[in-house]
Amino acid sequence: MRSISNSVIMHIDLDAFFVSVEQALNPELKGKPVVVGGKPDRRGVVASASYEARAFGLHAGMPLITARRLCPQAIFIEGSFTRYREASQRFMAILADFSPYLEPVSLDEAYLDVTGFESIHGSIHQMALAIKQRIKEELGLSASVGIASGKVVAKIAAELSKPDGLLEVAAGEERSFLAPLPIAKLPGIGKKAEGILNGLGINTIGQLANMPLSALKGHFGVFAELLHRHANGIDDRKIEPPAAAKSISRETTFAQDTRDRSLLKATLGYLSERVGAELRQKGRQAGCVTLKLRYADFSTITRRHTLIKATDADQTIFDTGLKLLTTALSLEKQLVRLIGIGVSNLTEVGRQLDMLDSSAQRLERLNEAIDRIRKKYGFTAIQTGRTLPLKDIFPETGDGYTLHTPSLSR
C-alpha cells in the first residue's frame, strides 16, 4: 500500500540530550560513561545516560543505585534544567531557520514539514545534513534525523538511526520499512498494548499491519484505526506549530515575607518591565493586567483589571499593577510572601499609533529604545527609577537580577 501523502516530514531528536549538554560545557566528560540524574547515594533515577554508559545497560528511568552497580566508573552529575532549556531554545531556533512549519514535541525533539524545500538545499538529505551541522557547530550537540512521508515513520527512522544518524524512508517504502520492527517501536504501544498483542501472536509491526481492523477494534476500540494506519505506514497528521501564548507573567518569592511598600513597589516595577519586554519582543499588546499575591499563610489572591486600550508599555502595566496592589494591601494585613504580575487578552500589534495621544507615542518610543539597549548590554544596563531599590538587595547578572524564581532569569 502506498502512502497517499506527498508530504516530506523530518523528525529531529538530539542524542543523549542532558548528558550531551553537560559534555559540550565540560569536554572532560566526552567519550566517558556519564549519567545525569544526581549522585547515586540519593534515591532517584537516570534522566539521561551517555551512549558509553548505555553500553553497560544503563538507560533513562533506571534507579541510580542500579546504574552505579552496573557501571561503577560512571560519572554521575546533577544537571541543570536552566541549561537544558536554553539549549532547547537555541535548537528550536536553528530548526525554525530551515522551515516555519515547526512542531516542538519535547525539549530535544521536533517535527519539521519540509515539503517542497528540496530545491533550496539541493535535496532533503542535504538539508538534513545542514541542520545537523549547524546543531553541531553552534551547540556542540549531535542530532539524529528521520525523513519520511509522515510523522510516525520519520520518528521511528530517527530513533533507528541513533546516535548522530540520518535515515530517509522513501515514499512507498513505509510499510516494508516498518514490517520487521517489534511492535514496541510504534509510538502509542505501551507495555500493556504490547502484552495484549504478543498474547495474540503479534510481535512485529508487519503482523500488526496485516491484522484485520475489526479484530483490532475489539481490543483497542477507537484507537484501533489509527494504530492500524500507522502500522501500515500511513500518517497524514499535520505539523502543528505551537499555539501562541495566551498570557505572559513573572513572579518572585521574597527571601523574607514583607510589607515594605518600597520593596513591593520596586519588585513590581521590575517584574512589569520583564513582562513588558517579552510582550514587545513577541510583538503583542495586552488588554488585561493581573496582580498575584501570596501571603505569609500561603493564601493566594489574583486581582485583574481590564484596560480600556491594549498596551505593551511597562509603565501602564506597572501603574495598573500598583493600583491593584494598593487596594489589595488595604484589605489584607498579612505579610506578603510572593508577588507576581501578568498580562492576558493578547493581540498582535497593529502598529496603529494613536496620533492624538502623544504620551502613548512617547512611551512606545521609550520602550523601544530601552529594549534595544538592553538587548545589547543586558537587562540591568538601564535602571528605571521604579526598580532602583532592588539594586542593593539582589545580585545582578548582565541578564537581570537574580531573584528567587527561575522564570525571572529569563
Q: Residues with catalytic annotation?
A: 109
Rounded CA-CA distance 171/148 in Å is 7
Grid coordinates standing for 341? 504580575
Q: Which does 60 bind (CB under 5 to 8 A by kind): Ca ion, ligand DCP, none?
A: ligand DCP
User: Judged by CB under 5 A, how many residues of this single chain contact Ca ion?
Assistant: 4
What is the amino acid identity at position 254? F
Phi first, then psi, for residue 38 (nearest 5°) are: 125, 175
Q: How many whole angstroms separate alpha carbon 203 and alpha carbon 184?
A: 9
Q: Kindly tell me which of 61 and 199 has the beta carbon lying closer to ligand DCP.
A: 61
Shortest distance, position 176 Cβ to ligand DCP, whole Å: 25
Shortest distance, position 55 Cβ to ligand DCP, whole Å: 13
Q: How far is the CB of 85 from ligand DCP (least distance, A)?
A: 12
Give the C-alpha separation, 287 to 342, whole Å. Answer: 11
Ordered DSSP codes for 311-377: E--HHHHHHHHHHHHHHHHHH--SPEEEEEEEEEEEEE------TT-HHHHHHHHHHHHHHHHHHHH
Residue closer to ligand DCP by CB (options 108, 113) is 108
Contact yes or no for 9/113 (Cβ under 8 A): yes
Minimal distance, residue 143 CB to ligand DCP, in Å = 9
| Contact pick of 7, 10, 12, 13 for Ca ion (by CB under 5 A) | 13
How near is the Cβ of 105 to ligand DCP at its closest, in Å?
10
Among residues 12, 17, 18, 235, the one that binds Ca ion under rule CB under 5 A: 17
Within 211-300, residue ranges assigned H as helices are: 213-220, 223-231, 261-281
How does DSSP assign 234-259, residue by residue?
---PPP-PPPPPSEEEEEEEEEEEE-
Nearer to Ca ion, 145 or 336 (CB): 145
Residue ranges binding ligand DCP (CB under 6 A) = 13-18, 47-48, 60-61, 108-109, 162-163
Give the nearer residue to ligand DCP in terms of CB position, either 54 or 410.
Answer: 54
**Residue 47 site contact among Ca ion, ligand DCP, none (CB < 5 to 8 Å, cut-off depends on kind):** ligand DCP
- 392: buried, middle or exposed (CB in 10 Å: 19+, 13-18, 0-12)? exposed
* Strand pairing report for 284-295 and 336-348: antiparallel
Contact by Cβ (8 Å): 239, 103? yes
Q: Which does 65 bind (CB under 5 to 8 A by kind): ligand DCP, Ca ion, none?
A: none
Q: Return the residue of 22, 108, 174, 314 that touches Ca ion, per CB under 5 A.
A: 108
Interacting residues of 191 by C-beta distance below 8 A, sequence separation 6+? none
109 versus 273: smaller Cβ distance to ligand DCP: 109
| Stretch of 17-25, 54-62, 208-216, 236-244 contacting Ca ion, by CB under 5 A | 17-25
Nearest distance from C-beta of residue 14 to Ca ion, angstroms: 5
DSSP state of 334: S
Closest CB 355 distance from ligand DCP, rounded Å: 51
Return the one option of ligand DCP, Ca ion, none that residue 48 interacts with (CB less than 5 to 8 A, by type): ligand DCP
61 binds, among Ca ion, ligand DCP, none (CB under 5 to 8 A by kind): ligand DCP
Q: Which is nearer to ligand DCP, 48 or 367 (CB)?
A: 48
The residue written with cell numbers 515513520 in the block is 153
Question: What are the angstrom distances between the C-alpha of 42 and each of 18, 38, 46, 328?
Answer: 19, 7, 11, 43
d(CA 160, CA 406): 36
18 binds, among ligand DCP, Ca ion, none (CB under 5 to 8 A by kind): ligand DCP
Quick one: 140 or 389, whose CB is closer to ligand DCP?
140
Residues that bind Ca ion (CB under 5 A): 13-14, 17, 108
